[in-house]
Structure 1
């Protein structure tokens, strides 16, 4: 197969070689699992430097077209899409991998719908409902850099905002810094947009300074950060970490910094921003989906005037604006005292259930810390994939941390669990089964024993 490929792959630059391989994949001449020629072999055949071929393979890997396995070579990637959040509708297993809010704590919009009234909105009118804009300005006031001029934009959810922010600032193949592990929608948006994801490791205090520095050195033109309740880890930036990140960004004022404060009203942690007064390109996004429900596809973005102007060109009245009916409904809900009370109850519920389940796992020999957010990020002493498969045989559908890694096929020792809707009996059952699966996996040859 290498000899055949040598006749088909042409190019003197990394971009040309990558384009040639991409064309072979698109024509079906290369299929998932097919091996590409070794870097040295292809370089000698083309008469180019090995670094040129290595760069081409790296571009293909970053675009999700190939998987590089070190000494195992480079193969064509499986074209399956990035996993998405939500229920596995075709599974008979008990799903603890959804990432969904608890329906019991999503406010019923019936009363607000009945109370909504107003004249029709026509073409050419402002894209933001004036009353919602006044409320949103107060809501976003604590999230914007002090003293920095900011403009508001309404989009159809946080993912829509991120897609539009990147599109108005970047071109194909530009590098984007993403947390690793990362929110699934962010991975999907960057790959579909044709940008190059650059992973920035996350620890207990959020995005790492060393990781940000390395990403900036690699020339990222945008960075997406979750300041608190990072999905999937639950990590939140501390004041010290945020200050260190701001210092690192000081020399890069025109890198677009996007903060996705998705958990805002439900968060148990204070907001610490990595956007400093020196940053010229920035945006802060807050959506309502976590507390009003995923079907409420609305997010508020506060950004610098230039970024807001770029967004405005992609949100023209009558084509891509967000329905004023939805805007009015969100405003009616968010200004309702009973709804705000339910949101506060939801925040306490998620925190309490996650803490309780982490305590159960710890008591069963799987030490776990509950951080912030809808989910738990559980560290295992064994491979997560093996535990996931063992849990399936016990009736549970869990999610391996591998799905949230930027490198396709990267092994993980983490589980992401959504457990806040389990009652005490089911929670104890799941914790017992996880511990049993870990013990069974640890007894396999080549694995270390559970402490």
Structure 2
């Protein structure tokens, strides 16, 4: 949301939803200055609830600043632990104003879904276990090294990326379809950037980096292939 524009607020929205940390797919993290500026803008719309979506949790390298530090009575944080502690957990923790959290709890209680108490207890144990915490932090550092290793090699090929955190790279390409076809022809699957945007000025693809090889030679080859796809244009797919 541009800080200079109040136009979205003039439409009287009910909710401001944003990813404060390791935003997917760009890998940006909200800092203290940005959080304070957003809070100052949102103060003009007292009926707007702020929902912070943290989909990566402890797998992020950098802590994100929260709008809740400025608007505690209107900010709800939903933090998923499925990425950092295992997808089988399928669980998140919600924190925020008591009345808002209670409304969500009641609605869920009378719905068709529920959260397993066994999984809740399992997560509570993992979050308080020192050995598990160290392992998760070590994994986060390793994910960061893999992402950075590929980003550095892409930059050497003239393909810039700006991800600072997270488990992916947001790679600019000349033509989305050409890039997808070029990579698919070589057995590589990536996500089209158009899935993540309402509109954008330049096409991108999203590349997952968490399971990248750490072999330097294989990484060089991967970067060369991605660069080839990045420069492929419609009507000319190498």
**Could you state the TM-score of these two structures normalised by the residue count of structure 2?**
0.88
Aligned to 2:203: 413
Match of 1:372 among 165, 188, 199: 165
2:109 partner SS: coil
Q: For the residues of structure 1 that align with 2:39 and 2:185, how far apart are their CA atoms?
A: 47
1:233 aligns with 2:37: no
Deviations 1:206-248 (A, max 9, x none): xx4246x332122211011111100111111122211111110
Q: For the residues of structure 1 that align with 2:206 and 2:51, how far apart are their CA atoms?
A: 24
1:250 touches 1:279 (CA, 8 Å); kept in 2?
no
Task: Report the number of matched residues.
Answer: 234
Match of 1:396 among 188, 201, 204: 188
Q: For the residues of structure 2 that align with 1:313 and 1:405, how far apart are their CA atoms?
A: 33
Deviations 1:109-135 (A, max 9, x none): xxxxxxxxxxxxxxxxxxxxxxxxxxx
1:238 touches 1:272 (CA, 8 Å); kept in 2?
yes
Whose Rg is larger?
Answer: 1
Match of 1:422 among 202, 208, 212: 212
1:257 touches 1:282 (CA, 8 Å); kept in 2?
yes
Aligned to 1:356: 149
Structure 1's unaligned 5+ residue stretches are 1-199, 201-207, 445-451
Q: For the residues of structure 1 that align with 2:148 and 2:88, how far apart are their CA atoms?
A: 28
1:271 partner SS: coil
How far has the Cα of 1:399 moved from its partner?
A: 1.4
1:314 partner SS: helix
**Could you state the TM-score of these two structures normalised by the residue count of structure 1?**
0.48
Alignment of 1:15-414 (within 5 A): 200=1, 208-210=2-4, 213-275=6-68, 277-278=70-71, 280-316=73-109, 320-380=113-173, 382-406=174-198, 412-414=202-204
Deviations 1:396-427 (A, max 9, x none): 111121011135xx775212111231212432
Q: For the residues of structure 2 that align with 1:210 and 1:394, how far apart are their CA atoms?
A: 45
CA-atom RMSD in angstroms: 2.4
1:364/1:442 CA distance change after superposition, 3 Å: farther
